[in-house]
Amino acid sequence: MAELKDMVQSADWKKEKHVPAIEAPDKARKGEWVSVTVTVGKEIAHPNTTEHHIRWVALYFTPDGEKFTIHVARAEFDAHGESVAGPNMSTVYTNPQATAAVKTDKCGMLTAISYCNIHGLWQNSRRLEIA
């Protein structure tokens, strides 16, 4: 049986359109709300068609010294041009971008995972320092 870690791909989000980009401050104050935005296709646009699209993104936080990762948020993207008239016939599309507000007293790693309906799971991580 394959391990989940073996199914998740990663790369530089500036060169690979499937990798979620994480926008957040490098440092925050203890107990302060931090805005974290996850975007797929920030530098290189990802297709958003009925046949090829980003279905969802999820955001996790792993506090330093703790055993488990905390699932912070998840966003579903359900409009990809589908219509009763056929594929890509709708005028409604969603952009794979989501923002969550996070508050913590510990430093740690933010991790975002995205799912492409054709190319599978992709991840990216970024450190958050707390002062």
The range of the structural domain enclosing residue 35 comes to: 4-130
Residue percentage of the chain with pLDDT more than 90: 85
- Selecting among 42, 53, 80, 116, the annotated active-site residue is 116
| Distance, CA of 117 to chain centre | 14
Query: Is 16 a residue of the active site?
Result: yes
- pLDDT digit string, tens, across residues 82-104: 999 999 999 999 999 999 999 99
**CATH number, domain with residue 82:** 2.60.40.730
Contacts of 6 (CB under 8 A, 6+ apart): none
Give whole-number Cα distances, 93 to 54, 72, 77, 115, 131, in Å.
11, 25, 9, 17, 40
Q: Reply yes or no on whether the pLDDT at 33 is more than 90.
A: yes
Query: Is 76 a residue of the active site?
Result: no
Q: Reply yes or no on whether the pLDDT at 3 is more than 90.
A: no
Query: Is 119 a residue of the active site?
Result: yes
When divided into structural domains, the chain yields a total of: 1
- Selecting among 14, 30, 52, 106, the annotated active-site residue is 52
In sequence order, what DSSP letters do the residues of 12-34 get, joined into one string?
-TTT-TTSEEEE--SEE-TT--E
- Selecting among 32, 82, 107, 119, the annotated active-site residue is 119
Give the whole-angstrom CA distance, residue 19 versus residue 110.
14
Query: Is 116 a residue of the active site?
Result: yes
- pLDDT digit string, tens, across residues 21-32: 999 999 999 999
Q: Reply yes or no on whether the pLDDT at 54 is more than 90.
A: yes
Give the strand pairing for 120-130 and 8-10. Answer: parallel
Query: Is 46 a residue of the active site?
Result: yes
